[in-house]
A and B are shown apart, each in its own frame.
Chain A
Amino acid sequence: MSEIAPLPTNKDEAWRYSDADWLAKADPAVIGVWRESIVPEGQTIRETTHLTQAGATRLRIRVEKGARYEHFALNTAGPFARLEVEVTLEEGAQFEFGGVTLGGGDVTQEFVTRTIHAEPHGTSNQVVRAVQWGKSTGNFLGRIEVVRDAQKTDAGMNFRALLLEKGASANTKPELEIFADDVLCAHGAAIGQMDADAAYYMAARGIPPEAAKKLLVQAFIGDAFAELPDDTARDELMDAALGALDGAQL
């Protein structure tokens, strides 16, 4: 099942921080394609994604009663790379998302999620970390919709960005649209630089600056993959992320 949407521009809310030049040249037949799937009642589906090429990947997932959908993604691609996930949660369904953008140069990397709590007792948890240097940009646009009947929804969203160099940037825009009155929705965001005190503490113990930076980045992005129970898969994502950091001429 798929449908083709018109080519988006920065005027579209969900594309406001995207790379306009790249979008203008994009192929609507490619960028407009949604991959649609269903997590059947009571089941769990876990996906891990490493975006290494420019483009927009768009997923539309229906999570049936009591089912769970997990997606852990690393985005190290450019010049423009986007993962968009739209999730509809039925009664008691769960959505877990962990994402890391990591890049330099002038890449734009983004995660865009739309979480629709359509029925009661659903939970969703999203943790996104951005590590940017050069003139790169990391974005997280998270929209949570809780319909009127979706009581006892528990939704959380957390974004933090670490800018390793002046000139790098990060954007985030949490959107909450809540029509039920008995729900928990939490969101938080912070954008900062490398902790100079921690870096010095490491140096004082003999750890050279490059290794200290790697340790701190590793610790920083670890949160995004903390809920991934598969050690091998988590190690692969972490190794890929730190490998991409190695390429940085910082």
Chain B
Amino acid sequence: MLKIENLHAQINDKPILKGLSLEVAPGEVHAIMGPNGAGKSTLSYVLGGRPGYEVTEGSVTFNGTDLLDLDPHERAAAGLFLGFQYPVEIPGVSNVQFLREALNSQRKAREEEPLTAGEFLKLAKEKAALLKLDMEMLKRHVNVGFSGGEKKRAEMVQMGILDPSFAVLDETDSGLDIDALRIVGEGINSIMRAENKGVLLITHYQRLLDVVQPDKVSVLADGRIIRTGGPELALRLEEEGYDAVMAEAA
């Protein structure tokens, strides 16, 4: 479903990804773990098309199309969702207005009918309830005054509403307490666990993987995937640390 081949990318002429290859099949949750500075966030931004992240070599194919050829909003309409490590605050724009505009823009791009205000609110209520986020929060401005945990839950509500076929989730577990972590993890399972969907789950910790159990785990170090295995690899990393696993791979 997502195929990354020999991806090289840089920021301000500094190479960060150095030949990264990775494949995620439909129905698969693929966890990416790795030390700080390995390029995990860069990978997510390159996939999301963030300005400033320059691809110098390699390819990314998403459902058969060249992902790198699409503008960021076209990638979203094609079914890609990028969960931000630091969700952005947008003063003056309510969550409801933002998400309705987003959903209807995507629907328009796919030549589907827009949702009416009533239909949209019904959908938003359902997804907010799933993530145990008060509907009143969605009437407030996008992420403004939200705590770290609320921002992450709001991101998952966005994902629920937009219903992507593929999600790249960049440290969605950071800033969450134990209860919120469970709610977010179960939200990911409920929204993204399906035969025709895929998830790239970037995380530092096993605790999210206890809830969202990965089918595969890859270790990203110095801009490359150095090892891929099953869920047991994440457990080993948790016990032995990156250095031990990286030394073995070297």
Bound-state Cα–Cα, A219 to B71, Å: 24
A204 in contact with B76 given A211-B105, A215-B97, A215-B101 (CB within 8 Å):
yes
Q: Which residue of A lies closest to B90 (CB)?
A: A198
What chain B residues lie within 8 Å of A206 (beta carbons)?
73, 76-77, 102-103, 105-106, 109, 162
A203 in contact with B88 given A196-B51, A208-B105, A219-B93 (CB within 8 Å):
no
What chain B residues lie within 8 Å of A208 (beta carbons)?
73, 105
What chain B residues lie within 8 Å of A223 (beta carbons)?
92
| Interface presence of B34 (CB below 8 A) | no
**Total interface residues on B, using CB and 8 Å?**
32
- Are B92 and A205 closer than 8 Å at their CB atoms? no
Contact among A200, A203, A215 for B93, CB-based, below 8 A: A215
Contact among A198, A203, A215 for B71, CB-based, below 8 A: A203
What chain B residues lie within 8 Å of A196 (beta carbons)?
51
| Interface presence of B158 (CB below 8 A) | yes
Residue of B48, B75, B101 ringed by the most chain A CB atoms within 10 A:
B101
Contact among A203, A204, A219 for B90, CB-based, below 8 A: A219
Bound-state Cα–Cα, A224 to B192, Å: 42
| Interface presence of B32 (CB below 8 A) | no
| Interface presence of A207 (CB below 8 A) | yes
Q: Which residue of B lies closest to A221 (CB)?
A: B92
Bound-state Cα–Cα, A115 to B242, Å: 66
A–B Cβ pairs within 8 angstroms, 28 of them = A198-B89, A200-B88, A201-B84, A202-B73, A202-B90, A203-B71, A203-B72, A203-B73, A203-B76, A204-B72, A204-B73, A204-B75, A205-B76, A205-B98, A205-B99, A205-B102, A205-B158, A206-B73, A206-B105, A207-B73, A207-B102, A215-B98, A215-B101, A218-B93, A219-B91, A219-B92, A219-B93, A222-B92
Q: A202-B102, A205-B158 are in contact. List 9 more A-B contacts (CB 8 A).
A: A197-B88, A198-B88, A200-B50, A204-B48, A206-B73, A206-B77, A206-B162, A215-B93, A218-B92
Which A-B residue pairs are the 3 nearest by beta carbons?
A219-B92, A206-B76, A203-B72
